[in-house]
Amino acid sequence: MSGENQRVEASSTPPGPAAPPRRPPVTAPAPAGASRARRLAAPALTLAGAVAAFAYVGAVDPNEPGHYPVCPLFRLTGVLCPGCGGLRSAHAFARGDLATALGDNAVAVVGYLVFAAFTALWLLRAFRGGPVPRIVLKPVWWWLIGVSVLGFSIVRNLPIGSALAP
């Protein structure tokens, strides 16, 4: 071959969409050879991170100015977003004051409890060698959750919902 280009013959099958690569199922149990410590690493580290965050927020009071940033939406518009009061709620929750935590941000408290339940289930399944839990909801439930959080946001900004404001 003296520098000439070679012609490569194409296959006789017409081009079509490529089949996506096969992936293992997400809910597959851990391999039998996986050690218990290795299975517990991810949920235990997740739990440790959450406990450290709550310990920090419990120790550094968000009610005192200068420790945490202000919500940009609230600063610019004066409107409370669904997360406003979340740090104050976490502070009260970490100190065991559930009534104050609910008063600061009830949606955040529900989130803390859902996270705790999910993490407990994850730890239990990892200990037993089962699959990682997944939150699987029909779209109508996701829409209902979104509408509920939006309703919470609207009502807490109205005079009748002042009890929901932090």
Q: Per-residue pLDDT tens for 115-139?
A: 999 999 999 999 998 888 998 999 9
pLDDT one-digit tens code per residue, 33-92: 468 888 899 999 999 999 999 999 999 989 888 888 888 888 899 888 888 889 999 999
Q: Spell out a b/e string for 67-93, using b for 16 or more CB atoms within 10 Å of the CB, else e.
A: eeeebeeeeeeeebbbbbbbbbbbbbb
